[in-house]
Structure 1
Amino acid sequence: MKVTPLLAGIGYAFLLSPLAIVALMSLSDDQYLTFPPHGFSFRWYVALAHNAAMLEAARTSLALAATVALIALLLGVPAAFALARGAAPAVVAGVLAAPLLLPTLVIGLGLLMVLQPLGLVATWPGLALGHLVVVLPFVVRLMMSAFAGLPPEMAEAASTLGARPWRGFVLVTLPMALPGLIASATLAFLVSFDETVISLFLVGPRLVTLPIALFRYTESRTDPLVAALAVVLIVLSATVVLVVDRLAGFTRTIARS
């Protein structure tokens, strides 16, 4: 038996074992989180489907993540194109990547101090702006990688045929960079949907995202509903990534960056 496949199997088993435990606990018939479960039931999935607070928080997170992903693409794609073509100073790339180097706790506190006097805390614009700060660097980095791999001759050919720069960008460059665009949108959506630390500083009683609702739920309860929600999120995230990878090569785009 070869050693490498064996070690790879052990590594995968080690990484996936917590997910298996969470999946088993989500099917528990107990009132509290215990392992191994004393019985199995789908009662906590039914309870999750009837939990109005969690469902409302999920709708908020979905709408917020979609909005942030769209804004991040509108801002990040032109910036990435300018950086990839050398039309912007290199220092701009460093500034855009700065949020990745800072702890999210520091970013959240800074956003709170800036947005509080403006009355944007516990509002949609404030929360979207906070998520955009951490999402935009991912979009710029991925799209820079996508644009850097494109031959500039195609856009130049469109220009020689009379296409204006913006038209050549939209009709030639963007379609060629479509895999990176889809991967960027997907990653931006997932990062925003999962953001917790910054949201803790910016949410309010009437504006709660799903990670914050889950965090508050676990402060007072320890039932398997949490595990059921975790399994649902894992399945949805894995499905999105697999579908996008089939369509646009998500993992290949991430690897190139």
Structure 2
Amino acid sequence: MILDRLYKVYVYVMYVFILIPLIIIVGTSFTTSQYVTFPPEGFTLKWFVRVLTSSSWMFSFLLSGVIALVSMGIAILVSLPAAKALAKHRVTFMGRDVGVTLRTLFLSPIVIPMIVFGIGIAITLQTLGLYGTFAGLVIGHLIIVIPYVLRSLIVSFEGIPDSVEEAAITLGATPVKTFFKVTLPMAKSGLIAGALFAFIWSFENVTVSIFLAVPGLTPLPIKMWGYLSEFADPSLCAVATIFIVVAFGVFLAVYRKMGKASMFAV
């Protein structure tokens, strides 16, 4: 009994520890003070109005959203066949099984520090003449989000019994039809989870974006970083609050669509 209570206290302490920064940010975004202060002095929506009516803030917000959506979509298209091959087939090179090696290679952006990838991507794009372009930003984000989609799909595909696909083919379905009508729906949880992680990771990324952003193409996190170094008003907290609302909104929408069991299946 005592141990159960200690567990509950520990969980509540962890909740508070995680939520305190968010509470401070949200509270400060409504303050009437011209400076970032907590507890907030009064209540106002002027900081949200200032942000939402600012063309520069809205451009950065939309740019980050488009980059995240495009990167997520391409990552899904690239990862689907790769994950299927790595999960269900023996990948060989010169007679040797290289499946584990390829998995490690594909997942390297998760292991290697992002700043290393940021520098490498910037130099590569400069060489290719794509630095400072929208395509360059998408490529940079694509490299860092593919591992999340790939990993989620591999786990989902590995959980599908081979007998299910074999039964579909035995009943007359082509391999392509089997994949889209049988395999892919069964891997839905991994697909959605990977896509969600990819979108959020791209949308909020700073480490790689800071090497790729240029005037006129500034993603929202870099816009926030630059604003923080010049100003100290609660506008930044208002942007952060919008960030929080969007992230929770996406999560809750997926949670309600998939349910608890599917959401955390991977």
Q: State the TM-score, normalizing by the size of structure 2.
A: 0.91
Find the counterpart in structure 2 of residue 74 from structure 1. 77
Structure 1 residue corresponding to 2:134, chosen from 124, 130, 142: 124
Find the counterpart in structure 2 of residue 99 from structure 1. 109
Find the counterpart in structure 2 of residue 136 from structure 1. 146
RMSD: 1.6
Equivalents in 2 of 1:219, 1:238: separation in Å?
Answer: 27
Does 2:19 match 1:16? yes
> Residues 1-257 of structure 1 correspond to what in structure 2 (within 5 A)?
2-88=5-91, 89-249=99-259, 253-254=263-264, 256-257=265-266
Equivalents in 2 of 1:180, 1:98: separation in Å?
Answer: 20
SS of residue in 1 equivalent to 2:17? helix
Equivalents in 1 of 2:39, 2:204: separation in Å?
Answer: 28
* Aligned residues of 1:146 and 1:253 also touching (Cα < 8 A): no
Q: How far does the alpha carbon of each residue in 1:14-58 deviate from its partner, in whole angstroms, 9 at most, with x for none?
A: 211111111111111111112233332111111111111110011
Q: How many corresponding residue pairs?
A: 256
Indicate the larger mover: 148-157 or 219-228. Answer: 148-157
After superposing on structure 2, the runs of 4+ consecutive aligned residues of structure 1 that deviate more than 4 Å are 249-254
Equivalents in 2 of 1:249, 1:126: separation in Å?
Answer: 36
Counterpart of 1:66, as a letter, is L
* Aligned residues of 1:142 and 1:253 also touching (Cα < 8 A): no
Indicate the larger mover: 52-61 or 156-165. Answer: 156-165
Aligned-pair CA distance for 1:246? 2.3
SS of residue in 1 equivalent to 2:107? helix
Q: How far does the alpha carbon of each residue in 1:112-155 deviate from its partner, in whole angstroms, 9 at most, with x for none?
A: 11110211111111111111111000111101111111122121
Equivalents in 1 of 2:209, 2:187: separation in Å?
Answer: 32
Q: Which 5+ residue runs of structure 1 have no aligned equivalent? A: none
Q: How far does the alpha carbon of each residue in 1:174-226 deviate from its partner, in whole angstroms, 9 at most, with x for none?
A: 01111211111111111111111111111211211111111111111110011
Aligned-pair CA distance for 1:251? 7.7
Identity %: 37
Counterpart of 1:42, as a letter, is L
